[in-house]
Structure 1
Amino acid sequence: MLAKRKIRGKDLATKIGITEQNMSLLRRGKVKGVRFSTLELICQFLECQPGDILEYK
């Protein structure tokens, strides 16, 4: 979604108020969970649905 919207992870992190390191961990799938409030902010900013950015493994 970031590439589709031509937005860098660094810029998204700044806009939604999380650290660049946390954004990097989210993007690489290195987290065990994500807060709904963070997910909501990401989806609002990217104008997408959670299913567009989440993958079940």
Structure 2
Amino acid sequence: MPITVDIDVMLARRKMSVGELANRVGITPANLAVLKNGRAKAVRFTTLAALCEVLECQPGDLLRWEPGGAEDGEDGVARGAGHA
């Protein structure tokens, strides 16, 4: 997937454990591990907002786009003429 979630860097900067972050965000450690390990297909905006609030960061500090991941249309987003 061309979007990766970089939680490890922010955890290290905040000197916070995965368990503490999961507890403060309100998700299970297993779901946080799915995000950390790049296995998540989607992230709810409420979860992203909670991560940003707890880690005192912006979404761009956690999300990184890598070109060449998903093929055109593979992610369910319509592309082409008339689509922005």
- TM-score range normalised by the length of the shorter chain: over 0.9
Mark the runs of 5 or more structure 1 residues left unpaired by the alignment.
none
Under a length normalisation based on structure 1, what TM-score does the superposition of the two structures give? 0.94
Q: Which has the larger radius of gyration?
A: 2
* Identical-residue share of aligned pairs (%): 49
Query: Which has the larger share of strand?
Result: 2
Comparing both structures, which one devotes a greater share of its residues to helix? 1
User: TM-score, normalised on structure 2?
Assistant: 0.65
| Uncovered stretches (5+) of structure 2, i.e. residues with no partner | 1-9, 67-84
Aligned residues: 57
Larger RCO: Structure 1 or Structure 2 (Cα < 8 Å, ≥ 6 residues apart)? 2
Where has structure 1 moved over 3 Å in runs of 4 or more?
none
**Pairs within 5 Å for 1:30-41:** 30-41=39-50
